[in-house]
A and B are shown apart, each in its own frame.
Chain A
Amino acid sequence: MDILELTNVEKRFGERTVLKDLTLRVPEGAIYGFIGENGAGKTTTMKMILGLLAADGGEIRVCGEKVSYGQTRTNRFVGYLPDVPEFYGYLTPTEYLLLCGGLAGVPGNASKARAEELLSLVGLRESASRRIGGFSRGMKQRLGIAQALIHRPKLLICDEPTSALDPAGRKDIIDILRAIRSETTVLFSTHILPDIERVCDQVGLLHGGKLALSGRLEEIRALHAKSGFVVEFAEEGEASAFLAVSKNGERDAATRLIYPTGTQADMLSAMSLLGQMQLCPLKIEQREPSLESLFMEAAAE
């Protein structure tokens, strides 16, 4: 079943068309990476899913129910983490989570237990009684995840949760997303591709107002897979020596050779050749398209 369905959604801001004919499906249980450059319309799409912005055309459904602007009924299925979540600085995280829990209709006792559980999950247990006003950006981001999950939503929408964080903070967030995947479907927007590779199983690239590329990550990779392999040496001399005796090689960089048509058998023979020549390469690997090259390619089309 698809938790989230967008069908032919359109959005204009004045003269500027941000989304045209956006169709997107997020199946239950997925961690969906929603990718696009800055200004592609990721945040706009998310706000429309939440009923915070009006769509100019098309239809959005969450858990089969239609989303309408200004009405927030479907939000009971959804947890939302804004890109820069803002809180009331005069409350403590526990008070804030209880407020959110109460507003989402979680009964008092359950809300309390859930708040404690989430504060441990996001690593804010020690700061539970401090006021939010003194929190760092990373702490606020983690509290943001906690507030989004307080009512056990079926769909968690995260708007660039890692973009503003340092590497350690990013890792924390990715780990939390991994930890909750058994309970919640996640739609996660970003322009940081390594984050997508670490955690997502489905991806969609938003470009020019519609999905330029979408599907399971492995499928996309397989579809665009390139054959061949690469050998990289520490010194230019080694590379030249190996290029002279091996077949079908091309020079990619001073110390890097590419064998674009190389099969697995070719790669094995290259390895034994390396052994015979007593050459130790820095690396020898099969060519796999990087996400970056895939998306640059799709965006260029």
Chain B
Amino acid sequence: MKQLLLLLQKELTELLRTKKALVLVIVFAIFGIMNPALAKLTPWMLSLMGSTLSEQGITIGAISVNALTAWTQYYKNLLMEYIVILAVFSGIFAQEYQSGTLINLLTKGVSREKVALSKLLAVLLCWSVCYWLTFSVTLAYSAYFWENALPAGIWLGAISAYMLGIWLLTLELAFASAFSSGMAALLGTGGVFVVCYALSMLPALTRFLPPRLSEGLSLLTGALASGDFLPALFVALALSLGQGALCLAGIRRKQL
């Protein structure tokens, strides 16, 4: 346990001192601010362009903007969030494999599984902070701009999108611990996601596959019910646990 905590502390120090944490917090805060801001600013921007547009024969009617517009933006930005976080952590194992920094630690009698577990925990912790930061910023601004802020289904939608991130990150780390290149980890993750996405086109499978978890907006609009999300949520959880185990197994087989 003490070893694990020390390794986790090392990972977090790395995030802080290499400024990765700072960059991530800034980027995710911007995502959070952009969602309501864009929604709020859309009518204003359109009215600015209004005279030009009307000269061209386009008339703009009254545009109603509400909290839902902000949440629409939120779900549109999700993909970017996943890409950013996956890109930042793709090299977390490769960097150590290639430079040989792990050798000093492993020859102190640390088990390889603990090394992998500490990385897994650090990445998930970082994702949690970043994701919920974006969410709370969006939530706070929406409440400020539109007082009747909390649409129904907002929490399940948020948890689903968070879980999708966990699934993607554990998938990436499972590839990352087995390969010596960050690019391989990214490509592997992308590949599996594409396959899952393609499979989720099949109506029988849609409810069970992780890509469903990105459709939180349908919960807010009422197009989907919570029952449509729960199977995918559990599948993603189970897969994440399996992928976490694969990540620990991958580092064990690595010749350093």
Contacts and interface: CB of A to CB of B under 8 A. Distances in A.
A86 B3 contact: no
B254 to A, nearest CB: 9
Interface string B4-27: 001100100110011000000000
A237 interface: no
B101 A88 contact: yes
A249 B7 CA distance: 69
Nearest to A104: B108
Interface stretch (A77-85, A115-123, A172-180): A77-85
A72 B101 contact: no
Contacts of B2: 102
A99 B99 CA distance: 18
B30 interface: no
Nearest to B7: A103
A13 to B, nearest CB: 10
Given A53-B255, A90-B18, A75 B104 contact: no
Interface in A136-192: 144, 147-148, 150-151
A247 interface: no
Interface string A61-104: 00000000010110110111010111110110001000110111
18 contacts: A52-B106, A52-B256, A54-B255, A72-B106, A75-B107, A75-B109, A79-B107, A80-B103, A82-B100, A84-B100, A86-B101, A86-B103, A87-B104, A88-B101, A91-B17, A102-B3, A103-B3, A104-B108
Contacts, number: 78
A80 B109 contact: no
Interface in B33-89: none
A73 B3 CA distance: 14
Contacts of A88: 10, 14, 101
A72 B107 contact: yes
A50 interface: yes
B103 A76 contact: no
Query: Dominant SS at the A interface?
Result: loop
A56 B191 CA distance: 36
A82 B256 CA distance: 12
Given A84-B100, A88-B10, A100 B255 contact: no
B110 interface: yes
A194 interface: no
Interface of A: 47, 50, 52-54, 70, 72-73, 75-76, 78-80, 82, 84-88, 90-91, 95, 99-100, 102-105, 144, 147-148, 150-151
A99 B11 CA distance: 11
Given A75-B107, A90-B13, A99-B10, A70 B112 contact: yes
A87 B102 CA distance: 9
Contacts of B125: none
A104 B108 CA distance: 5
A25 B104 CA distance: 24
Most buried by A among B99, B108, B109, B256: B108
A293 B106 CA distance: 39
B23 to A, nearest CB: 15
A78 B107 contact: yes
B199 interface: no
Contact of B104 (A70, A105, A147): A147
A102 B109 contact: no
A82 B107 CA distance: 10
Contacts of A47: 256
B6 A86 contact: no
Interface string B96-130: 00011101111111111000000000000000000
